Copies of this chain bind each other. A is one copy, B any other.
């Protein structure tokens, strides 16, 4: 498990990592405390601004940190981090410093106070854009304000949760059907 070398990634292209539906690790910080949660319920909601909707349950310790700091980082882990992805979901930031416990490296963000997770394939710095749906739906609408992604151009072997302890691991990525797209649909 080692840090992934990343470079800047355009915020308008966040769909390339999030639309396929991977499990993500959400990192947050507030008044010196950091936390990480595992999240499977998220969706792209726009390109410009780059919006992402995330379901963050009120019982999660992260919810308060994110509400107070109005920010988070959405990190995309790959299959080599599967043990940690599960273990992070098994414990609470109320009891544990998750960066320390799991040997993950916090990297300072450039636009938000929440730290990036260096070992993840991609990291997206987010600001809370709309808090009005939190109470009713636990739905956070974030604007991605800065993107970072692995310099390696191959597609990441992401984890996709199917419930009941079962994961689908990302298979082949292909442009086999690309020529069928109407040019303005790309």
Q: Which residues of A contact B (CB under 8 A)?
A: 13, 15-17, 19-22, 40-46, 51, 53, 55, 82-83, 86-87, 89-90, 133, 137, 139, 141, 155, 157, 160-182, 185-186
Contact = CB atoms under 8 A, between A and B. Distances in A.
A19 B163 contact: yes
A142 to B, nearest CB: 13
A170 B162 CA distance: 12
10 contacts: A16-B164, A16-B166, A19-B161, A20-B161, A45-B55, A83-B177, A86-B181, A162-B173, A165-B175, A166-B173
Contacts of A180: 83, 86-87, 90
A90 B179 CA distance: 12
A43 B142 CA distance: 15
A57 B166 CA distance: 32
Contacts of A42: 43
A165 B181 contact: yes
A19 B165 CA distance: 13
Per assembly, the copies of the chain total 2
A45 B139 CA distance: 8
Given A168-B155, A170-B168, A173-B168, A160 B90 contact: no
Nearest to A43: B43
A137 to B, nearest CB: 6
Contacts of A163: 13, 15-16, 19
Given A133-B133, A168-B172, A169-B172, A41 B41 contact: no
Contact of A171 (B13, B21, B171): B171
A162 B16 contact: yes
Contacts of A179: 165
Given A41-B19, A43-B55, A160-B19, A165 B182 contact: no
